[in-house]
Structures are given as structure tokens and as C-alpha cells.
Amino acid sequence: MVKKVEVKNLTKIYGKRGPRVKELIEQGKSKAEILEETGATVGVNQANFEVNEGEIFVIMGLSGSGKSTLIRMINRLIEPTRGTILIDNQDLMGLDKKGLREVRRQKMSMIFQNFALFPNRTILENTAYGLEIKGITKAVREQKAHEALELVGLHGYDDQFPSQLSGGMQQRVGLARGLANDAEILLMDEAFSALDPLNRKDMQDELLDLQAKMHKTIIFISHDLNEALRIGDRIMIMKDGVVVQTGTPEDILTHPADDYVKRFIEDVDRTRVLTVANVMIRPNTVNIDKDGPRLALRRMQENEISSVYVVDSERKFVGFADAKDVIKLIQQGSRDLKSVVQTDVPITHPDVAVNDLMDQLSSTPIPFAVLDDERQLVGIIVRGAVLGAIAGNEVTQ
């Protein structure tokens, strides 16, 4: 994994600082204690984390926990009191104004919750705004803005005005504006928090679709664990300026670091009641007794998947076949699908509690095969669907 962003001991003190505050921070005193003794507000207290290239990293915490301060320090929109920020191994703190502007321009784009659209400008001009202030020529910026609008599903709206768009669509313009400048890192501060639940879910899906195509590095702030579970590859939880836990959604759900994290997951803690049957999805299968490699390949192509599950005429589980192997078989002129079936697949039962699968789920790249008492393949378990179900989505079959 390539480290894209690395943050070490990043600290922000608002108000009076002085050596005493520094001392108290080093002694590990809390935000409340430091405020009490010195009158200074700790925004962020010695945060340490890394964000990998292509990852969606969610920062979560209650209001006032330091999320906005932290994300704004990553591009030095807020000047850190102490600490190190490395972007692609380059130390941001060591840069002068010009160098900083250059890194921001090339690498980072910030998307806010309450961004303003200019009412008298078209959607295209609004989208191109960030490029305009960077001095990009009109033709280029309009081309890029147009492409970004297409990406977020606003085809045909270039020449409309903000008042002609719904709230959800306006938020898409904000996303398009953030995407238009091709930044490698997107910093999103509660970008979807103002949206109603349906629009919000749409935007989360949109972001995941975009991410599948664009592989950005995304730091996404949310105060909502459901949102974090849906979109985060990893989640970092903050309290009173301090990082309390960083981990995969499964880590957070199954091993909450303390009571604060536990309280977050109480609302979504359906893992204890959810069973495999609740979260499994329907697998694409071929019948080893009558289907050959060509049908297996067609099934994969039709469903845009790279492997297919193999059962026998009684639907009893046999294994799975990989597209690469099936293609090779076809090229060799062989019809013997059996010869490429892989049987080393993790297996579970519909009645098993999802909680008991969690640890293995995040470490197993292949979906679990769900077999009933007769060893018939009744479903498969994919990670995204499980996290979606925990976050309260309907599991679509």
C-alpha cells in the first residue's frame, strides 16, 4: 500500500498557547483540564494516522471533537500549532507560500457541506469556479467542468442556474466542483450532512461509483456511523481532539476501543441479531453436470463479475471458477470445466451470527459460500453487502 497522507503528532491549540499548554499536552492532559488551567482550547491533540492511496478514510466524532480543524490542517487552511503533514512523502510544513499553493493546486481539493453556488452563474460556470481562480483558461476549465458534471450525473444541466436545481442536485454540483480540478486527494468535510436521508444515500452511492472509476484518496468527515460504515475503507474516531480508534469498519464494530466508541455503535449494532441469512446475496452459478466453460464465461460477462459459483444438478456446492482459468480452458479447446474448479472457499451456514464472521470477513478476499444442511448453495456473503445491512440498508437480492 502506498501512503498518500501521513500525519504525525498534529496539534492545534486555539487561543492562548505558551509553554505551559505544550507541557500539559505532553503530559497527556485532556482538553477540559487544559482549558481549565490555561484558558486555551485544544482543537486537535497529537493526531497520528496514515491514509493510503485510493482509500476512503472516514474521520468520525461528535460535534466539537476536532474533525474540521484536523481536515483543514491537512492542506494548512488552518495552520497547525505543532506536528508534521506528509503528502506523497513531502513535508507540507516545510513549504513556503508558493510551494504550498502548488501542492494544494495539484493534489488537494476540498468539498464543504455549505458551499455557496453563485445564483447568477450557470451550473457550468459554478463548477468551473475553482479552476477559474487558479487561472485556467476558459476553454480548458469549461471542458473539465463539463466532464465533472457528467461524472456526477448532471448531464444536460450545464446552462441551467442554481435555482433550477434541487438541493440534492446542488450538492452534486459541489462534488463536481471538487472533482473538476483532477486533485488526487479529496477532502470532504461533512459534504453530505445537510442532505435528507434519500439524497444522502444517493450521494454516498454516487461517491462509491465514482471512486470505483477514479481511485482518488478521500478523507471524508462524518458524524454518522452509518455513513462511515457504508463508505469507509477505514474509520478514525475522534473525541475531544484526540484520536480514540482507527480501524476497518469490522474492527470498530467488533472491538470498540472504549465506551465512547461503543455508544456510537449501539445504534447500529445489529451484528448481534443479524444472521448470515439476512445479509447473503444470490450467487451466479453454473451447473457442473451440464454447463461448460463458454456458458460460465458468458454468465460472468453478463454480470460483470470475475468468478462464478459451481454447483451440481441438486444445487449442491462444488466450488468456484475464475474468469482467467475459464478463458484459458476455452482457448485450449477444452470443455472440462471441472478441471479449473477451485474448492478452497470459506463456508458458512445461514443461521450463523454475522458478528461471528466479522473478523474473517475482512481478511478473506473470496466471498463466503453459504451452505444449508443439505450442502446446497443458498447464498454468498460479500463484505459490502454485510456492512450495508449493518448500516441499515435493505439487502438487494
Ligand X SMILES: Nc1ncnc2c1ncn2[C@@H]1O[C@H](COP(=O)(O)OP(=O)(O)O)[C@@H](O)[C@H]1O
Binding site for ligand X (CB under 6 A): 14, 41, 43, 61, 63-69
**Closer by beta carbon to ligand X, 206 or else 240:** 240
Rank residues 59 and 276 by Cβ distance to ligand X and give the closer one.
59
How are beta strands 347-348 and 368-371 bridged, if at all? Answer: parallel
From the list Mg ion, ligand X, none, partner contacted by residue 45 (C-beta under 5 to 8 A by kind): none
118 binding partner (options ligand X, Mg ion, none; Cβ < 5 to 8 Å by kind): none
Minimum distance, C-beta of residue 64 to ligand X, in the bound complex (Å):
4
Burial class (CB in 10 A: 0-12, 13-18, 19+), 340: buried
Measured CA to CA in angstroms, residue 393 lies from 126, 197, 201, 216, 396 at distances of 33, 12, 10, 25, 9
* Cell (9 digits) for 117: 453556488
81 binds, among Mg ion, ligand X, none (CB under 5 to 8 A by kind): none
* Contact partner, 246, from Mg ion, ligand X, none, Cβ < 5-8 Å per class: none
Could you give the C-alpha distances from 61 to 12, 29, 190, 243, 373, in angstroms and in order? 17, 19, 11, 9, 43
- Closest approach, Cβ 12 to Mg ion, in A, equals 13
Q: Which does 355 bind (CB under 5 to 8 A by kind): ligand X, Mg ion, none?
A: none
Residues contacting residue 176 through CB under 8 Å, at least 6 positions apart:
127, 145, 148, 149, 151, 152, 154
Of 4 and 12, which CB lies nearer to ligand X in the complex structure?
12
Q: How far is the CB of 66 from ligand X (least distance, A)?
A: 4
Least distance (Å) between residue 227 CB and Mg ion: 14
Binding residues vs Mg ion (CB under 5 A): 68
Task: List Cβ neighbours of 60 (8 Å cut-off, separation of 6 or more).
Answer: 67, 221, 222, 223, 224, 225, 228, 235, 236, 237, 238, 264
Cβ 43 to ligand X, closest distance in Å? 4
User: Between 63 and 166, whose beta carbon lies closer to ligand X?
Assistant: 63
Closest distance of CB 278 from ligand X, Å: 33
Choice between 136 and 221, CB closer to ligand X? 221
Residue among 243 and 296 whose Cβ is closer to ligand X: 243
